[in-house]
Amino acid sequence: MVSLLDALFTEDKIREALFHLFRDKAPGLDGLNAFFSQEKLDYFWVRFLKKGKLGWAFLKLDMEKAFNRVEWSFVEAILKYVGFPLRFITLVLRCISSVSFELLVNGCLSESFNSTRGIRQGDPLSPYLFLMVADRDFLLPSVLRN
């Protein structure tokens, strides 16, 4: 099962998964239905490809409760200890440490800017990473020993 986390995914697989969603259902907390994502998918790919980046992810962040922070090195230690594949750990760390943001305010897109520290509440990864970090009785003593 862990090997699935290390599997490559393609544009076709993303398109297939997205178009299997019911168009009038909202799959995420952002409230946007699948119709919006399906209709705008090509726009995001064209915009992304113009920048020439090789690795990417689409992510909706809820920054409403942005106050709890976890150190990236600790998340990395937990993921290694649990036994996740190195490629998966690298992808998670890229998601939390090299994210760039752009804001759309009144129809104007801001310049890109980067995050500077830990995981903030509202990040889709944070509940899962929090569960690993929070179970200190199980993981923390072993991680600290190693």
Residue boundaries of the structural domains of the chain: 1-58, 59-146
| CA separation for the pair 33, 46 (Å, rounded) | 21
Q: pLDDT at position 88, please?
A: 84
| CA separation for the pair 141, 60 (Å, rounded) | 34
pTM of the model: 0.38
* Cross-strand pairs, 29: none
- For the chain, 146 residues long, give each residue's pLDDT as a single digit of tens: 667 777 776 777 777 877 777 777 666 656 667 766 666 666 666 565 555 555 555 444 443 343 345 667 877 887 888 788 888 888 877 777 766 667 667 777 778 776 655 555 556 666 666 666 566 555 555 555 55
C-beta pairs of 1-5 under 8 Å, 24+ apart in sequence: 2/83, 2/84, 2/85, 2/88, 3/85, 5/84, 5/85, 5/88
Give the DSSP H or E segment for 100.
strand 100-101
